[in-house]
Each structure stands twice: as C-alpha cells, then as structure tokens.
Amino acid sequence: MPDRQPLANFIRTHHVEIINQFEAFATTFEPVAALMTSVELRDHADELLTAIVDDLAAHQSAAEQALKSQGLGQVHAMQASGSLHADARIEHRFSPEQVIAEFRALRASVLRLYEDSAGPIDMPGVRRFNEAIDEALTASMVRFTESTDRYRDQFIGVLGHDLRTPLGAIAAGASLLTMPGGDDAQRARIGGLILKSALRMGDLIANLMDLTRFRLGSGMFVERAPADLGDICQSVVLELRLSHPDVQLLYMAEGDLRGSWDASRLAQVAANLIGNALEHRTPGTPVRVTAKGADEHVTLSVHNTGPTITPAERTSIFEPMVRHAPSGPEAGQGIGLGLFIVRSIVIAHGGTVEVTSSDAEGTTFDVVLPRT
C-alpha cells in the first residue's frame, strides 16, 4: 500500500480543492453571501488553512500536546487567526452559528478528502488538526462575544441619547399646554412640535426594528409590485420641503423610472439619503436629488456640499450606529441607522449603493436598482 502523505503536506497539496469546497458552502449563507466577494471568502479561508498547516508543522512535545488537547496549552498558535477570521465575518454580518458551520465544513472537507487518499492515516496529524480547528473556533467565538457586548453597550448608549431629545421636546410641549393662557396659534404651534417629535421617535423605533430583523438573520423583507421611482422621489421631496421650508431642495427626473420594487421601502431609501444630505450640508447650500432611467436599471443620486467623507470613513459609513462628524443644521438628530437601512433595502432589491466625496465636488450617494 502506498504511503499516505502527512496531513500537513496533504493540505498543502490539495489547498485549492479544499478552498473550492469551502467557498461553495460559504456562499449558501443568505443574506451575508451577497456582501462578500469570492476573493474575500477564499482569502480568509486561505489564511486559516495556512495557519493550521504552520501549526501542524511546529514541534510539539507529548506534554504540550496533552495540555493543548485540554485547552490548557501555553502556545496559542491559532488564536490570532481565529480572531481575525471572526473580525472579517462580523464585518460582513455572519452570525455565530454560520461561523461555527464554516469551521465544521472546513474540518469535514479536509478530513473527507484525506480519508479518500491512499495509505495509512496520519493519526497524530489528524489529532493536531482537530485541536487547531477547535482553538481557532474558540478564539472566533470569544471575539464574537466581545463584539456583541460592545455592540450592546453602544446600542443602548446611542439609543438613550437620541431618544432623549424628542422625548424632552414632547415633555416640554405638554407642560406648556397645561399652563393657563396662550392663544390658539401658540397651542397649535406647540402641538405641531409635539407631533414632529413623536413622529421622530416613531422613525427611530421603526429603524431599530429593521436593524433587529437584519441582525437576527431575517434579512430585509421587500414586497415587489409595479412602481415608479419618479413618483416615489417626488412624494418624499415634497414632504421634506414642507418640514424644511428654508432649504433649497432640488429634484430632477429623467427617462423611464418604472420597475418592480417595494415602493414604501424605496421611499425609505430616498428619505434616509435626503435626510442625511440635509444633516451634513453646508448651511445655505442646496441638496440635489436626481432620478435617471436607463435600459435595465434606474439610478437615484443625492448630492450635497459639506464636510468630505474620508476614505477611512467610507469603509464603515453603511454600518449601524456609525456617523461621520456632522456639522450641518440637522446635526445629531439620527441614531446612525439611516445608511445601514439604505444599504440593506438596496441589497434586498439586488442593487448597489456607493458614495463619492471630495472637497471640490461635494458628496454624492448613488443607488442603482435593476428594474426587475
């Protein structure tokens, strides 16, 4: 019987085949698979396999092996690799269950291919391989726990801060209404402020519900029907002009803007993008909204002048509770979920959203939506 390769050598020899099987499994995860490219999926698996091979090749005494099998070893070669893998998966919103499934699939792919090869099995290598996988998986779960704790604390802090403002306005307005005196015009004005604050709190709660559904893996639900992006944008622009009478809000439509979409969700996209532009615009400058139709898709663009979004900020601007420093007249009124909701809705429609920003050209968000 021909000699079977040591497991470390086998993994090196069959590296591409293992990665191919791993990628095929990872792409079955929805909706996160839509957020990662093939290169990203393969690169992270490649780094993990490389670390495992290095660990298998490192010298290990019998005493060290016994401690490591109990999770008590002094050398944690896989800890850094497991933590980095978790960081990448957290960034692309994998759940802990999906990461565990990834490790399980990687383990099964390696051992199944190795079992099918000829020759006696390298049992010490298999044992060390399993220990390396377990160590990396443990490190990933620890990192997920740390991230969850940090996210929860940030979530509570931001929510408390952003709900305090409209709640305070409601309390102050209600207090004024209980006081004797005052004419009908004043009461109507106070009532309008209370209503605006209540609607603001409603928006915050709705966004939080969307965030919760997405974090639980349900994705962003959309109900498609024939719709016209021009009509959607015009309605949103008119509404925002009423609530921002001092702002020059310009709207232009061009071409066929019909498609199969969730109209209420796209209204949410338009409102969030325009609201973001109002928040960050330079005072006294206009916000421009443009909808253009092409053969297979339509594009919604929202432009404002104001502080430039740096390349570093652009990498995280669509994540929840991330806000680049606002300086406009609407600064500080959001919980930092608007752009996260925008991207989630656009992805659910099979579209893309990108941002460009410079001192000379200002900031533009471009949403591209396939018609069907």
Nearest in space to 255 (alpha carbons), one of 289, 204, 291, 302:
291
**Per-domain boundaries in the chain:** 7-150, 158-215, 225-370
Q: What is the mean pLDDT of residues 256-278?
A: 91
Looking at the predicted structure, is the pLDDT value of residue 230 above 80? yes
Say which DSSP state 4 is in: P
Q: Give CA–CA dist 341/282, Å, rounded.
A: 24
User: What is residue 330's predicted lDDT score, i.e. its pLDDT?
Assistant: 46
- 261's enclosing H/E stretch is strand 258-261
| 225-370: CATH topology | Heat Shock Protein 90 (3.30.565)
The DSSP bridge partners found for residue 303 are 288, 364
User: What is residue 356's predicted lDDT score, i.e. its pLDDT?
Assistant: 95
User: Do the beta carbons of residue 129 and residue 68 sit within 8 Å?
Assistant: no
The values of phi and psi at residue 253, to 5°, are -120, 145
Q: Give CA–CA dist 288/274, Å, rounded.
A: 9
Say whether 336 sits in a helix, a strand or coil.
Answer: coil
Q: Give CA–CA dist 58/77, Å, rounded.
A: 9
Terminal CA-to-CA distance of the chain, rounded, Å?
58
Read off the pLDDT band of 370 (50, 70, 90): very high
- Ranked by mean pLDDT, which of 23-27, 57-61, 145-149, 341-345 comes out on top? 341-345
The DSSP bridge partners found for residue 259 are 227
Nearest in space to 346 (alpha carbons), one of 299, 286, 287, 289:
299
User: What is residue 300's predicted lDDT score, i.e. its pLDDT?
Assistant: 98
Structure tokens given for 269: 């996209």
The values of phi and psi at residue 323, to 5°, are -135, 125
Looking at the predicted structure, is the pLDDT value of residue 331 above 50? no
What percentage of the chain carries pLDDT values higher than 70?
78
More confident residue, 16 or 149: 16
Say whether 16 sits in a helix, a strand or coil.
Answer: helix
Using one digit for the tens of pLDDT, what is the confidence trace for 84-138? Answer: 878 877 777 677 888 888 888 888 888 888 888 877 788 888 888 888 888 888 8
Looking at the predicted structure, is the pLDDT value of residue 56 above 70? yes
Top CATH class, 7-150: mainly alpha
User: What is residue 332's predicted lDDT score, i.e. its pLDDT?
Assistant: 44
Other CB atoms closer than 10 Å to residue 118's CB: what's the count? 9
Residue type, 293: G
Other CB atoms closer than 10 Å to residue 252's CB: what's the count? 12
In sequence order, the 6+-apart residues with CB closer than 8 A to the CB of 134 are 71
Read off the pLDDT band of 327 (50, 70, 90): very low
User: What is residue 252's predicted lDDT score, i.e. its pLDDT?
Assistant: 96
Q: What is the mean pLDDT of residues 279-303?
A: 95
Nearest in space to 83 (alpha carbons), one of 37, 41, 39, 51:
51
User: Do the beta carbons of residue 156 and residue 42 sit within 8 Å?
Assistant: no
Q: Give CA–CA dist 214/347, Å, rounded.
A: 12
Looking at the predicted structure, is the pLDDT value of residue 357 above 90? yes
3-state helix, strand, coil in the chain (%, to 5): 60, 10, 30
Q: What is the pTM of this model?
A: 0.56
Phi-psi region of 258 (alpha: psi -120 to 50; beta: other; left: phi over 0): beta
Using one digit for the tens of pLDDT, what is the confidence trace for 139-176? Answer: 889 988 887 777 676 667 666 666 776 788 788 888 88
Q: Give CA–CA dist 189/196, Å, rounded.
A: 11
Read off the pLDDT band of 67 (50, 70, 90): low
Structure tokens given for 106: 């990687």
Average pLDDT, the chain: 80
More confident residue, 3 or 75: 3
Q: Give CA–CA dist 267/265, Å, rounded.
A: 5
User: What is residue 219's predicted lDDT score, i.e. its pLDDT?
Assistant: 58
Read off the pLDDT band of 203 (50, 70, 90): confident
More confident residue, 26 or 229: 229
What string of DSSP letters covers 262-309?
A: -HHHHHHHHHHHHHHHHHHSPTT--EEEEEEE-SSEEEEEEEE-SSPP
User: What is residue 66's predicted lDDT score, i.e. its pLDDT?
Assistant: 59
Q: Give CA–CA dist 270/250, Å, rounded.
A: 13
